[in-house]
Amino acid sequence: MKAAFVTLGCKLNYAETSTYERGFVKAGLEPVPWREKADLYLVNTCTVTERANAKSRSEIRKLHRINPAAVIVVTGCYAQMKPEEVAALEGVSRVFLSSEKALVVPESLKLLGIQAPGPDALPRVFGAYSSGERTRSFLKVQDGCDNFCRYCTVPYARGRSRSIPICEAVRQAEEIAGKGIREIVLTGVNTGDFGRTNGESFLDLLKALNEVEGIERYRISSIEPNLITEAAVDWIASGTKFQPHFHIPLQAGSDELLEKMGRKYTTAFFADRIDYIRRAMEGPGKPKVFFGIDVMAGLPGETDALFEEGYRFLETLSPAFLHVFPYSKRPGTPAATMPGQVPERVKTERVARLEGLCAELHARFVEANRGIKERVLWESREKDGSMSGYTGNYIRISRPYDPALAGRITDVTI
């Protein structure tokens, strides 16, 4: 039997889909591209915007047309938020809620007539990691969120904050290393919240993972600024496998909007965290720290003046990259009914300006690293006959293809 997989949304979804796929392969199913006729289709959905919901529905309908007799199972955030709506789509055989992720493989196999044992009990967190890339894996160590920011549905779609035990994270990292993968990106909805609900700490997780043989580099994804401790920064800077690369959500560069949206920090605090990391990790001859910052355009109440204030704040911060999103009204959230909703046309204009700023900031970041010695993890061959890879601070470097370098880390001068 053949199985195909469609994933929408974040890296957490990709890590989970990879884990489902490994389970189906272990049961004897052959993975095929989703455009091919398969006996089972799994769709891992996203609900971050209404457009994401529509995309999920479109993909499900497309798969049903490819093979009307196929079993189609659906999981992910859209499935959690609108299970009846998803279940009513033609061709859908089963919808799995967020609490049922450990059942996806065994229950789907049963729909194919294959008996498979399920878990003795549903785990609080479905552990997962991606395995589709040769050089890098996304390891999910945390899920859910307790922040309930006023624009966000994540606590409803993914539940409250919870983490896998450190021993399980280490076991999965060792499994990843056994596949020849050299780099792990730690992922979670709110990665820095790791361990709060089970008596462990984020720093203890980092220290334990640092000892895993075979993994040469780690990156930290999606960590809230108020959860970046000086102790963790100092330890990373002391000479560890953790790279000078951080993905930190800002969402708005205005204190008025941050407070209105229920964020737990000010712009001054955010700037201080960035400055502390730079002072701890940068220096003469050292690479500059890569900061990727999430920012929304068009939050309710974002006047022209507040947008300009945020734009100037981002210019001052001078991160390496901006992940720019237009605000999308999510039914059931406080922000959806707030006054001062920004017209879509204005959101589009603001997104374009921020993306233009991103291009300027990234070019400036690359130039600031010119002449610095760094290490590149080389990936596979590109279509044009070259190969590329990323430095520790996430600058993409290209060179002529050399098969002996694929999957290896070498020194370069940027």
Residues 237-263: tens digit of each pLDDT: 999 999 999 999 999 999 999 999 999
Site of tokens 């970041």: 365
| Measured distance CA(91)–CA(94) in Å, rounded | 9
Q: Is the dihedral of CA 341, 344, 348, 353 positive or negative?
A: negative
pLDDT at 232: 96
- The residues, ordered by sequence, that sit 6+ positions from 88 with a Cβ below 8 Å of its Cβ are none
Question: pLDDT grade, residue 72 (50/70/90)?
Answer: very high
At residue 116, the pLDDT reads 86
CB atoms within 10 A of CB 322: 22
Q: Does residue 326 contact residue 50 with C-beta atoms inside 8 Å? A: no
- Write out pLDDT tens, residues 207-220: 999 999 999 999 99
Is pTM beyond 0.85? Reply is yes
Q: Is pLDDT at 134 greater than 80 in this prediction?
A: no
Report the chain's mean pLDDT, rounded to a whole number: 95
Phi, psi angle pair for 254, to nearest 5°: -135, 130
pLDDT at residue number 129: 96
Gyration radius of the chain over CA positions: 22
Please say if the pLDDT value at position 147 is more than 90: yes
Q: What is the pLDDT of residue 297?
A: 97
**Amino acid at the residue 227:** L
Q: What is the pLDDT of residue 40?
A: 97
**pLDDT tens-digit profile of 295-346?**
999 999 999 999 999 999 999 999 999 999 999 999 899 999 999 999 999 9
Tokens of 317: 């911060």
In angstroms, the CA 146 to CA 162 distance is 9
Query: What does the pLDDT read at residue 135?
Result: 87
Percent of the chain with pLDDT over 90: 91
Give me the mean pLDDT over the 38-58 stretch: 94
Asked if residue 5 has pLDDT above 90, the reply is: yes
Token representation of residue 302: 């974002």
